[in-house]
């Protein structure tokens, strides 16, 4: 009899809770969350302010730890990880894209993209080649020497995405990636992120307040008051994709 082994989810929450404060002042940012995300998924996360969605993202990103329960990455429990181990997880497995770009001012695009490779101790020639290739992948070939002040908002976000993918991460964590962009530029950025998910196989987990941006994901999670209240295939994606063709 063929007993196939089902691979562990890339990311899993096992009754994860996160509390802040004590006694009557305790805030339950997350309350007994069970969640599994497989490699290659594009998951959108929505919810009002204070719903727990950002706390969940911070735990996935190794920026916070649960008060109880277990966060597993590739089937490995992380509750006993040291600060250094969480840093290594972020450095080698995760890429981050933020609403505010978080680029170094008066620094060239290629130098911004190189930063994660500097932290890895990679030699200058190799990291320059990889950063240049990452910029080309996001449509910024020829702009390597431009500083952030010389780039539009959409181009700055492309630099931030190039910086996030230059390490070949397993997961791209995007926190309101279009929050500072106009509609046209937002569409361009989301099409880029969708292509990275589809063609490169990068797992994308994205927090957004905007329904039309969430529609790019293949799965939609909704948080309310620290609870995961909905976890469903994103039916809007099919119609969204059809309308964009």
Report the sign of the C-alpha dihedral through residues 147, 153, 159, 160, in that order. positive
For the segment 57-116, what is each residue's pLDDT rounded down to a tens digit?
A: 999 999 999 999 999 999 999 999 999 999 999 999 999 999 888 999 889 999 999 999
How many degrees, rounded to 5, is the angle at CA 200 between CA 62 and CA 115?
Answer: 50
How far is the CA of 177 from the CAs of 10, 72, 138, 233, in angstroms?
A: 22, 25, 14, 21
Sequence-ordered list of residues with C-beta below 8 angstroms from that of 164, at least 6 positions apart, any chain: 95, 96, 97, 172
Of the pLDDT bands very low, low, confident and very high (cuts 50, 70, 90), residue 5 is low
| Among the listed residues 144, 171, 169, the one whose alpha carbon sits nearest the alpha carbon of residue 155 | 144
| pLDDT tens-place string over residues 19-33 | 998 887 888 999 999
Whole-angstrom Cα distance, residue 203 to residue 40? 4
SS (H, E, C) 166-210: CCCCCEEEEECCCCCCCHHHHHHHHHHHHHHHHHHCCEEEEECCC
The pLDDT of residue 244 is above 60: no
Distance of CA 69 to the CA centre of its chain: 22
Task: State whether residue 139 is helix, strand or coil.
Answer: coil
CATH for 11-243 is 3.40.50.300
Q: Which residue is it, tokens 């070949």?
A: 168
As a whole number, mean pLDDT of residues 160-181 equals 94
Q: What is the pLDDT of residue 61?
A: 94
Which tens digit of pLDDT belongs to each residue from 191-226? 999 999 999 999 999 999 999 999 999 999 999 999
Instruction: Give domain limits for the chain.
Output: 11-243
List the beta bridge partners of residue 35: 13
pTM of the model: 0.91
């Amino acid at each position: 009899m063929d007993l196939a082994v089902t691979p562990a989810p890339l990311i899993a929450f096992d009754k994860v809770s996160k509390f802040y404060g004590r006694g009557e002042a305790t805030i339950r940012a997350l309350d007994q969350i069970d969640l599994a995300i497989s490699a290659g998924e594009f998951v959108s996360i929505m919810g009002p302010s204070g719903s727990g969605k950002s706390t969940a993202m911070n735990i996935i990103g190794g920026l916070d730890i649960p008060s109880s329960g277990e966060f597993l990455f590739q089937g490995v429990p992380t509750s006993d990880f040291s600060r250094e181990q969480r840093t290594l997880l972020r450095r080698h497995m995760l890429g981050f894209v933020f609403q505010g770009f978080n680029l170094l001012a008066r620094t060239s695009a290629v130098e911004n993209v190189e930063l994660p490779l500097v932290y890895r101790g990679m030699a200058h020639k190799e990291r320059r080649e990889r950063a240049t290739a990452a910029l080309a992948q996001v449509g910024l070939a020829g702009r390597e020497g431009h500083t952030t002040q010389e780039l539009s908002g959409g181009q700055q976000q492309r630099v931030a995405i190039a910086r996030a993918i230059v390490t070949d991460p397993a997961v791209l964590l995007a926190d309101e990636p279009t929050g500072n962009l106009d509609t046209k530029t937002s569409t361009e950025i989301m099409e880029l992120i969708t292509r990275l998910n589809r063609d490169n196989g990068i797992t994308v987990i994205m927090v957004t307040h905007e329904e039309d941006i969430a529609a790019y994901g293949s799965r939609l999670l909704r948080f309310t008051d620290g609870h995961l209240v909905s976890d469903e295939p994103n039916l809007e994606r099919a119609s969204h994709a059809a309308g964009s063709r």
